Amino acid sequence: MQLLDGKLAAQAIKEDLKKKTSALQEQGKRSPHLAAILVGTDGASETYVASKVKTCAEIGFESTLKRFPSTISEEELLREIEELNNNADVDGILVQLPVPKHISDDKVINAIDPSKDVDGFHPVSVGNMVSGTPTFIPATPYGILLLLEHFKVETKGKHAVVIGRSHIVGTPMSILLSRKAYPGNCTVTICHSATTNLKEICLQGDIIVAALGQAEFLTADMVKEGAVIVDVGITRVADASKKSGFALKGDVKFDEVAPKSSAITPVPGGVGPMTIAGLLMNTYNAYMKKQ
Ligand SMILES: Nc1nc(=O)c2c([nH]1)NC[C@@H]1CN(c3ccc(C(=O)N[C@@H](CCC(=O)O)C(=O)O)cc3)C=[N+]21
């Protein structure tokens, strides 16, 4: 069993971006700049955004974190996005989701200039991905592709089973894995809450991407011997023995699935760090497109 170590793969990508950024600075150019908007004080969102900002600093990217109380109006938030759209020194804009209920996700996503849409959620980015001329791929699927590439996982002709059909992970992941380019060229099955024979389908999977958001859902009896397992889930489960009061659990029951798999991502330290790597790659690409 090979551990698909996302921390390690993300480190290699970060080092590469750091070198590229120093080269830009030596030419007297400014650095790529990511602007993140965080609304409210959700614990997990705080952690992720802090991690994105910290990683920018590590590799020499500029970053701006704009924080707003959960009482901010939709109108005001849209104005803030517009301001970042018009700021020529900002390459990538990310609005950490979820936003409070009185604010429309769709309006927020649509407000972002597609040339700065490093999350890849804007309809223009989605359209470009589907029509085979991707501009920005959502960070998590992008990170997973980079991870498979880093560890040279064979994907051609494999049956990939994607569990979950979210716009952020399941849907784009299934599209990307079906493309001809490596890593891809898979036969893809998407499973979801209305799938009746999930276990039978999973047992056929050479590659399983678990992205349904249910802690320890995928068990050993659902997995074929030698399958490659990508665990996208990250759920905080109460755990009194931890200083934080919680443990992070993936969508895969790691201890029993790992021995059966040929390769598997851990949680934490798997897809999470690669999501950040995907976001930084998108930010760098946004910067380069403007040059
Ligand atoms: N507009 C938007 N873009 C996002 O990309 C986005 C978002 N909203 N909302 C929430 C999800 C979640 N997400 C993660 C990023 C890093 C880790 C990560 O680094 N996780 C660490 C553990 C971090 C911890 O201790 O909690 C790991 O898996 O090793 C996880 C999850 C980005 N998201």
Domains along the chain with CATH numbers = 28-113 (3.40.50.10860), 139-271 (3.40.50.720)
Spatial CB neighbours of 11, under 8 Å, sequence gap ≥ 6: none
Indicate whether 219 pLDDT > 90: yes
CA 140 from centre of chain: 2
Q: What is the reported pTM?
A: 0.96
Average pLDDT of 27-40?
A: 97
State both tokens at 254: 């790691």
Angle formed by the axes of helices 43-59 and 6-26, nearest 10°: 50
Centre of ligand 1 to C-alpha 25, Å, is 29
Residue ranges of the alpha helices (H) in the chain? Answer: 6-26, 43-59, 74-86, 105-111, 123-130, 139-150, 170-178, 198-203, 254-257, 271-290
Indicate whether 146 pLDDT > 90: yes
> What is the reported pLDDT for 205?
98
Beta pairing partners, 161: 189, 208
Ligand 1 lined by 51 (C-beta under 6 Å): yes
Ligand 1 lined by 168 (C-beta under 6 Å): no
Q: How confident is the model at residue 189 (pLDDT cuts 50, 70, 90)?
A: very high
CB atoms inside a 10 Å sphere around CB 199? 12
Q: How confident is the model at residue 291 (pLDDT cuts 50, 70, 90)?
A: confident
Ligand 1 lined by 80 (C-beta under 6 Å): no
Average pLDDT of 165-192?
A: 97
